[in-house]
């Protein structure tokens, strides 16, 4: 169901709760300006999600439905993953500059939280925050690898409970599978999807990336770990243009006047700064690693973008300049 329809169903549930006599199908039709079949579907959606709904018959023998005033969403009807998914989707929309839709999802998540009993809210809050912190969004257009959903579920469980996991992991380079114990910290979703984790017996205190598509088995261990309070998944992700972790460098790209309007509407990196030029062109600056992913991305902009720095990226783009018409800056032309 689309989020706009979900919003209507929630509004209908609130009106059913606020009506002493309940609502008939005719009431739903007139209040939401929908057809009789849509009114039935909305009623059925409320009934599925609010099992305490009551049906009654009015003086004209018409069925009506209401939700008792003390009745709210039953504990367990909403879990942390569902709320976290909703709020993470809002973050993704905002990252793609769809701020109005993101605000709508944020409002919907707030309504769902408000509908829960206070005790359930307190129980869910740490889980939701842990999942939102754990699932950084470093999205880039392109194909996505196949990942077994049960692995994600197990890792999510371990993140919420701060428990170690044991991975059977196949190396992309050697092709050999090996086992390792990990402290799971979160996910980075991009062209390839990664688990961010620390292996105390191999690289203590150092976060590493593990391709989710290379995981062959996940076991959640009955062994808790203490998260490093100084580690921030957001800061870890911002070190790179995509997900490849390299030493951050100062990056500057020059967009020709005809590309500048489109570039102004683009989020290249969370730390980006725009410098508008007198001739209508634009310089974008940020600091990050991941030069190969930058090179891949710059292919999509064509010949109207010039790499100003770093020098390493200029050199990487020289082959592209020969074959695709890129410019790589005056000193490399």
CA distance 109 to 106: 5
Q: Taking the complete model, does pTM exceed 0.85, yes or no?
A: no
Rounded to 5 degrees, φ, ψ at 266 are -105, 140
Q: How confident is the model at residue 333 (pLDDT cuts 50, 70, 90)?
A: very low
Give the orientation angle of helix 3-18 with respect to helix 99-115, to 10 degrees. Answer: 30
For residue 7, give the H/E element and its range.
Answer: helix 3-18
For residue 244, pLDDT over 70 is answered with: no
169-222 pLDDT, tens digit per residue, is 887 656 677 888 999 998 877 656 788 899 988 888 888 888 887 888 999 999
For residue 329, pLDDT over 50 is answered with: no
Q: Using a pLDDT cut of 90, give the percent of the chain over it.
A: 17
CA distance 115 to 73: 6
Report the candidate in 239, 221, 135 with the shortest Cα–Cα distance to residue 185: 135
What pairs with residue 177 in β-bridges?
170
Q: In the chain, what are the domains?
A: 3-66 (1.10.10), 80-137 (no CATH), 149-238 (2.30.30.520), 249-327 (3.30.70)
Cα first-last separation, the chain: 53
Sign of CA dihedral 144, 150, 156, 162: negative
């Amino acid at each position: 169901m689309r989020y706009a329809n979900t919003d209507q169903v929630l509004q209908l549930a609130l009106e059913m709760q606020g009506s002493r006599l309940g609502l008939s199908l005719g009431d739903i039709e007139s209040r939401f300006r929908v057809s009789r079949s849509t009114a039935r579907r909305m009623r059925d959606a409320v009934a599925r999600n609010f099992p305490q709904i009551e049906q009654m018959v009015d003086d004209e023998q018409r069925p009506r439905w209401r939700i008792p005033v003390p009745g709210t969403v039953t504990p367990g009807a909403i879990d942390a993953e569902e709320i976290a998914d909703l709020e993470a989707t809002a973050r993704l929309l905002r990252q793609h500059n769809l701020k109005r839709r993101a605000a709508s999802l944020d409002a919907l998540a707030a309504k769902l939280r408000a509908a829960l009993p206070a005790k359930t809210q307190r129980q869910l809050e740490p889980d939701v925050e842990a999942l939102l912190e754990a699932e950084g969004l470093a999205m880039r257009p392109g194909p996505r690898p196949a990942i077994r959903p049960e692995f994600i579920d197990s890792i999510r469980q371990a993140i919420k409970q701060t428990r170690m996991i044991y991975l059977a992991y196949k190396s992309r380079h050697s092709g050999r599978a090996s086992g390792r114990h990990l402290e799971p910290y979160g996910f980075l979703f991009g062209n390839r999807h990664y688990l961010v984790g620390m292996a105390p017996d191999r690289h203590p205190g150092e976060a590493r990336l593990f391709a989710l598509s290379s995981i062959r088995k996940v076991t959640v261990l009955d062994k808790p770990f203490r998260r490093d309070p100084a580690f921030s998944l957001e800061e870890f992700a911002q070190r790179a243009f995509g997900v490849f972790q390299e030493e951050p460098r100062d990056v500057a790209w020059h967009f020709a006047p005809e590309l500048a309007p489109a570039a102004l509407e683009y989020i290249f990196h969370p730390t980006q700064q725009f410098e508008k030029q007198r001739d209508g062109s634009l310089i974008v600056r940020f600091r990050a690693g991941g030069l190969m992913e930058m090179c891949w991305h710059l292919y999509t902009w064509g010949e109207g973008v010039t790499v100003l720095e770093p020098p390493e990226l200029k050199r990487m783009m020289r082959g592209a300049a020969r074959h695709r018409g890129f410019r790589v800056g005056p000193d490399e032309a």
